[in-house]
Structure 1
Amino acid sequence: MSYAYLFKYIIIGDTGVGKSCLLLQFTDKRFQPVHDLTIGVEFGARMISIDNRQIKLQIWDTAGQESFRSITRSYYRGAAGALLVYDITRRETFNHLTRWLEEARQNANANMVILLVGNKLDLEHRRAVSYEEGAKFAEENGLIFLEASAKTAKNVEEAFVSTASKIYSNIENGICDPSNESYGIKVGVTSPPNNFSQYGQGGQNAQAKNGGCC
């Protein structure tokens, strides 16, 4: 299927915050309540439309365990966007955001768009991190921010699409050079406006098991 651009994403954050669940909800429109931990890296893809142009999102879901961090670091290179995820019911996952952000900025290109996601909004009654805390962290670090639920799909679409919109805007404004693949962007073959299929293929593995929610 033709597309105007391909954007490479990486999803990062602690084990168990719901990274794989967000990916599965976005690519396959489903929630899997029982999961294995991600081993290494998982892969998914989907087509979206921005400004009547097809954009292919190639999304790499990384393991949160320390033992896989060397693998994770290699996927920062050439990423156009990142979803940095924490669990609103587990304060320690929020406290670790600074470490994840430092690692991302050390290993990725300076123009990578980062969106902070407070996941598991469906567990509001168990909330340990306030919306205001998440918004403040995002503002202080120049991140886009929203809370989402991989289970109910609330704001999952918005998380991936708003990140893509910012990347697209950076291309239009000359901030990102789409001919330089270090920006995590590839130029494709443009299809006619309004002739697109919104959904693409998802749930393919890189070196991982299906399913994991970490």
Structure 2
Amino acid sequence: MMTAEGAPKKTDDFFFKLLLVGDGGVGKSSILLKFVGDVFDTRCVATLAVEVKIKTVELNGKEVKLQIWDTAGGEKFSGVSTSCFIRTAGIIMVYDMTNKKSFEHITSNWLQNVQDNTNEDVQKVLLANKCDLYDQRMVSKEKGESFAQENGMRFFESSAKTNINVETAILTLVEDIIEKNPTASLLPK
């Protein structure tokens, strides 16, 4: 639970801030809603700046509170999302596997934005969303896997609509954060 001031209660073992980045329309908000509330809404509206959701999970007997920031994907909001990188422990980079430009923007814009605004301890996951639309695929699984491997991040194909790999990808990211940089927690030591 959070206190009135927004600080984690002492009962949480870990408290991490995660950030969803990627172009508008790739499904970042849908991924967040599926993970936090097991909801998928086809009428999901575009995020205008930043939306923050909190979920507590149990991993390996530890209570982990996650503060997940869903950023707007449009270019006009890039300044807003840049300021969101402060104190971020993990990044979820999302592209739509049916939209080649969204993948190209990950490789040409979003990764650079992440590298410019975080340190090397920040863990990253690359999500190819909308894998339920496999007949409309424009980016091969191999291309996504190769890019992720070259840039030191995990790769998953996901679908917020059919709940494929949403929880798995996020919990794997959190496990990586705890394993590789356990001091990334926002809890006082």
TM-score in same-fold range (> 0.5): yes
After superposing on structure 2, the runs of 4+ consecutive aligned residues of structure 1 that deviate more than 4 Å are none
**Structure 1 gap segments, 5+ residues each:** 190-214
Q: How does 1:53-132 map to 2 (within 5 A)?
A: 53-98=62-107, 99-132=109-142
Question: Could you tell me how far 1:186 is from its partner in structure 2?
Answer: 1.6
Summarize the Cα distance change of 1:27–1:188 in structure 2 as closer, same or farther, 3 Å threshold. Answer: farther
Secondary structure of the corresponding residue to residue 46 of structure 2: coil
> Any residues of structure 2 matched to 1:168-179 within 5 Å, and which?
168-171=178-181, 176=182, 178=183
Asked whether 1:16 is paired with 2:25, we answer: yes
CA distance in 2, matches of 1:127, 1:20: 21
Cα distance change of structure 1 residues 156 and 64 upon mapping to structure 2, 3 Å threshold? same
Residues 97-141 of structure 1: CA deviation (Å, up to 9, x unaligned)? 121001101011221001000000110110111111100000111
Q: 2:93, 2:16 → 1: CA distance?
A: 16
**Where in structure 2 are there 5+ consecutive unaligned residues?**
2-10
1:70-113: CA deviation from partner (whole Å, max 9, x where unpaired) = 01000112100010000000001011112100110101122100
Preserved contact between residue 79 and residue 109 of structure 1 (Cα < 8 Å): no
Q: Does 1:47 align with 2:56?
A: yes
What is the identity percentage for the equivalent residue pairs of Structure 1 and Structure 2? 38
Number of residue-to-residue matches in the alignment? 179
Letter in 1 for 2:85: Y
Which one-letter code corresponds to 2:126 in the other structure? L
**Counterpart amino acid of 1:31?**
F
Over the residues paired in the alignment, what is the CA RMSD in angstroms?
Answer: 1.3
Please, what TM-score do these two structures have when normalized by structure 2?
Answer: 0.91
- C-alpha contact 1:85 1:119 (8 A) present in aligned 2: yes
TM-score, normalising length from structure 1? 0.81
Classify the secondary structure of the residue corresponding to 1:22: helix
* Cα distance in 2, alignment partners of residues 97 and 153 from structure 1: 22
Contact 1:44 1:59 in 2 (8 A): yes
